[in-house]
Structure 1
Amino acid sequence: MTSTQIPDTPATAGSDFAELSRLIKAAGLLQRRRRHYAVRIGLNLAAFGGGWVAFVFLGDSWWQLFLAAFFAMMFAQLSFIGHDAGHKQIFSSRKANDATGFVHGGLTGLSYGWWMGTHSRHHANPNNEDEDPDVDIAALAFSKAQSSRKRGFLRWMAKYQAFLFFPLLLLEGLNLHVSSVKAVLRKDIRKRKLESTLLIAHLVAYLAAVFIVLSPLTGIIFILVHQFLWGLYMGCSFAPNHKGMEMLSAGHKLDFLRKQVLTSRNVRGGRVVDFALGGLNYQIEHHLFPSMARPNLKHAQVIVQDFCARRGISYAQCGWARSYGYVLQHLHEAGEPLRRRSAEATA
């Protein structure tokens, strides 16, 4: 991988998307919101630092498990800032955004370069079975075609993946760490030395803090609770956005606007959901305008939804709980052929 730049959104003159882009630009929604991000980043870092002060103050106590849950939330909030930096939502300068992304990657133990490369491929081809890495996951099948290709234990998992989905999300935090280390070892990211230093520094500081303050047993349980809850939080933040929406394959004829809208889902819920999901609940608008600052997405949503209605383009939006229902329903349907064949074989 020679670059981690997420490509700019195309806007062919005369296209539906070009017209929508003009409306969004005229509303001033592509402007940076530096003051918003300065406050958000400052509050995040203050809360994160305060959490570690409380961690030392509590000492070797089982009350630390509440702080493990707190740090799971903070790791997710810091990751959301890294995500925004990767999309150039914070600064106009790539260097400034990358610096912010590297710092937040270091705080959470993630490779910013690896994430950028993977995420740019997802944005270019969401829900594309051939090109989107987010629907190419060994432990899950997102279509009946994918489930038919599973073998051995993975085939059994695909049969019952709707029931296994949330337990599997507990491992997502560990998976993110492992994938980051693998990317550095493969030497396929920019600034490999910097990323290596940040990952090692994170691991050493994290383990030292935990095991200096806590006993071995309490420390191990603290780490497990923290990493499992962080993985669950991250998985629950990203899963509703595309899972259960239209799946694409090579050769599809959708233009950019329809490709992004028809494969994405928004989640309603107001300020609480906006905070909890880091703005990812406006997934349609985010995919159409990935460099749009997070606080502008809710304003763009009104324009985009109306535009889609006038063009007859299906615009998916539902509540938070219902979004997970769609995800589980889709996973259950993808594994249905395997369950049917298993039943026929035992009949």
Structure 2
Amino acid sequence: MKTEAREKGYFNVPLWEQAFRCAELVGVPALAFYLLSQGGFAAFVGFVVLGLHYPRTAYLGHDLAHNQWGPRDDAKPRFMLRAVALLQGFGSHWWVEKHELHHAFPNACKKSEDGILTPIDGDIDSVPWIVWDKSLVEYNELAATSPWKAKLFLTMRRLQVLLFFPLLSMARFNWSWQSIETAFRVNKSLEGALCVAHWVIGLTLAGFLTPGPVWTGWLWFAATQLLGGFILAFVFVLNHTGMEIYDATEAKGFYDRQARSTRNTPSSLFFDWLTGGLNSQIEHHMFPTMARRNLSKMRDATRKAMLECGYAYEELGNREAMQAVLGALTDAAKA
């Protein structure tokens, strides 16, 4: 299948698309800040434009880190990753290692000597904010190193369904902070400085361009971060949350690990655009270097091959997928 897809050019990101992504990366924020300067309804439109743009920029960083524009250490991808760090606020060094581990072992855990499931996939570990599955309750309880932390963790878990959507909105702040902390810790000072500059420049421009008091521009900029973070986190949780959390030693190889814990959601021109093609998450896990606009073209062949080989191939509507997510969170909250 990979050979056929390569012959069809599905792994190629043509130069026209690369040029478009570059123009989008710079042009959309410029438009959003211009609309802010006009005030009123135009500023609201600018808020929506920039909020929608942040996930789009994250998808571009995702493409680059997956070597879809060539090896990420080559000059062009390296330059683009720095541009994304500035215009997105995320850095690749925080993201790449944990994301590649996620691709190898989605939703996977190892068992400690006490028999407690410990996440291999860091994307299912959000201590103390969210316990993603009831099988991880013991692991999260052990992370509480003092009585007050134990009370905090328990309270957060009990309220996590109620707080879930507000917490999704805060995702960009958390990811950006982790990017900055990681970059400086691993001596990638330029990357860290670019991530910091995202906030400094954004707040400065928003405060300067807003026709109202400075604080209204700052509020506008913060609101775009909340909207962008919510959309991006919403897209991500539908892909794996509410699926099996398993002991990696019990899985039967790479394809079994993907089938156990990865789902697709509906494909359409709108959904493919909004999710950056990651609604075809199964195909992305099977072919991570494939250009994301081609992932949906592989759905039928991938489904057929996986079912013929005895693997699961889960496809749910967005509502059903979110119900599965909230069901898992509810079970963990009650555990």
Superposition TM-score, scaled by structure 1 size = 0.83
Moved more, 252-261 or 214-223: 214-223
Query: Is residue 208 from structure 1 mapped to residue 239 from structure 2 by the alignment?
Result: no
Instruction: Tell me, yes or no, if the aligned pair for 2:36 and 2:44 is still in contact at 8 Å.
Output: no
Distance 2:302 2:14 in 1: 20
Equivalence for 2:97: 117
Q: Which amino acid in structure 1 is aligned with residue 329 of structure 2?
A: L
Tell me how many residue pairs correspond in the alignment.
Answer: 313
Name structure 2 gaps, 5 residues minimum.
110-118, 142-149
Contact conserved, 2:203 with 2:218, CA < 8 A, in 1?
Answer: no
Taking the TM superposition and a 5 Å limit, the aligned residue runs for 1:41-190 are 41-56=22-37, 58=38, 61=40, 64-91=43-70, 94-95=73-74, 96-129=76-109, 130-138=119-127, 139-148=129-138, 149-150=140-141, 151-185=150-184, 187-188=185-186
Per-residue deviation, 1:65 = 3.8
Report the CA distance between 1:233 and its aligned residue.
Answer: 1.1
Quote the RMSD (CA, aligned, Å): 2.1
Taking the aligned partners of 2:215 and 2:189, their CA distance within structure 1 comes to 34
Offset at residue 75 of structure 1 (A):
1.3
- Amino acid paired to 1:322: E
1: CA distance, partners of 2:283 / 2:23: 26
Q: Which moved more, 1:263-272 or 1:117-126?
A: 117-126
Residue deviations 1:262-313 (CA, integer Å, cap 9, x gap):
2111111311100000111011111111101112211111211110121221
25-34 vs 92-101, which deviates more? 25-34
Deviations 1:47-78 (A, max 9, x none): 3322223233x15x575244222211111111
Which residue does 1:343 correspond to in 2? none
Task: Please identify runs of 4+ aligned residues in structure 1 that moved more than 6 A.
Answer: none
Gaps (5+ residues) in structure 1? Answer: 1-19, 338-347
RCO greater where, 1 or 2, for CA within 8 Å and sep 6 or more?
Answer: 1
1:22 Cα offset (Å)? 4.4
Cα distance in 2, alignment partners of residues 208 and 304 from structure 1: 48
Query: Which is worse superposed, 255-264 or 281-290?
Result: 255-264
Give runs of aligned pairs for residues 1-347 of structure 1, distance below 5 A: 20-25=1-6, 27-56=8-37, 58=38, 61=40, 64-91=43-70, 94-95=73-74, 96-129=76-109, 130-138=119-127, 139-148=129-138, 149-150=140-141, 151-185=150-184, 187-188=185-186, 192-214=188-210, 215-337=213-335
Tell whether the 8 Å contact from 2:130 to 2:157 is kept in structure 1 after alignment. yes
